[in-house]
């Protein structure tokens, strides 16, 4: 990948609230991320939210961010707050 391609990649950190723990939210997020070809992670937070870091091509990142607003069928998402971060090259999408 040359520098011009790297310059177009983005990263966002999102906090997802609602009924998002114990409903396969992280595993489902990973499935979507792999399907879209983005990297990052999904992990539970002590306050009951899930934190998602997603990095990659803007269109794919946008699609995952849109999916976070719905989540898997068992989830009930009430809020998604995302902030942009500097792009960071990651090798995969992990679930903690």
> Which of 43, 44, 69, 88 is an active site residue?
44
> Which of 6, 13, 19, 26 is an active site residue?
26
26 is catalytic: yes
44 is catalytic: yes
Measured over all CA atoms, what is the biggest interatomic distance in the chain, rounded to whole angstroms? 41
In sequence order, the β-bridge partners of residue 80 are: 16
For the residues of 47-63, what is the DSSP string, one character each? TS-EEEEEEE-HHHHHH
What residues act catalytically? 26, 44
């Amino acid at each position: 990948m040359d520098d011009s391609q790297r310059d177009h990649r983005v990263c966002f950190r999102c906090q997802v609230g609602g009924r998002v723990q114990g409903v396969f939210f992280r595993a489902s997020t990973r499935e979507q991320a792999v399907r879209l070809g983005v990297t990052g992670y999904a992990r539970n937070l002590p306050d009951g939210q899930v934190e998602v870091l997603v990095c990659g091509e803007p269109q794919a990142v946008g699609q995952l961010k849109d999916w976070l607003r719905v989540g898997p069928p068992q989830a009930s998402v009430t809020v998604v707050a995302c902030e942009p971060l500097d792009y960071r090259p990651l090798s995969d999408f992990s679930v903690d």
